[in-house]
Amino acid sequence: MTHAHRSTELKGYGILDSDNEPEFDSIVREAATALGAPIALVSLLDEHRQWFKARVGLSISETPLSMSFCTHAVQQEGVFEISDASRDDRFADNPLVTGDPNIRFYAGVPLRTQSGSRIGTICIIDRRPRRALCAEEKDYLEALAQRVMMLLEDRRRRGVAVRLA
């Protein structure tokens, strides 16, 4: 799927650059707590950036796509994991690895629309290398991704804050 197609579908949700919403914030807090990660995000990918609809443990609200781990996660099914980003050729020179927030571990699941587009991820991040998630942890993260999509679909059905550019 092209960045443009994903971006068009994402814009249909009217979610980009919207205010914090407790339902999304509670999901990232739950992910961080349950999976023992200092950082958890709901990351949405438009044509040029990843924007964080909800975040815990990270102060920035977006990064360029060129630095995004999530762009890799949306290209596959299921959980995308990196045990130690500093030892992975795809990420070792990434500014998010070499500098703040010093990402080492990443696990993300695509947020899939009803039409099959992958518009972002829910992910957990750690500043230290970690073992791979076990099957139950992967299932849990995938269930959280489904909850995020249910919230997005409900939000769209209700017409909440639809602002098309």
> pLDDT of 89-117, one tens digit each?
999 999 999 999 999 999 999 999 988 88
Rounded to an integer, what distance in angstroms lies between the CA atom of residue 28 and that of residue 26? 6
Q: Residue 11 corresponds to which amino acid?
A: K
> pLDDT of 50-82, one tens digit each?
999 999 999 999 999 999 999 999 998 899 999
Contacts of 135 (CB under 8 A, 6+ apart): none
How far, in Å, are 69, 103, 144 from residue 150 at the CA level? 23, 29, 10
Plot region of 100 (φ>0 → left; ψ -120 to 50 → alpha; else → beta): beta
Which pLDDT belongs to residue 162? 43
Please identify which residue in the block is written with the tokens 């927030």: 101
Two tokens, residue 162 = 């639809």
Rounded to an integer, what distance in angstroms lies between the CA atom of residue 50 and that of residue 42? 10
Could you give all domains of the chain from N- to C-terminal order, each with its CATH number?
Answer: 3-157 (3.30.450.40)
> pLDDT of 4-49, one tens digit each?
677 788 888 888 888 999 999 999 999 999 999 999 999 999 888 9
Tell me the whole-structure pTM to 2 decimals: 0.91
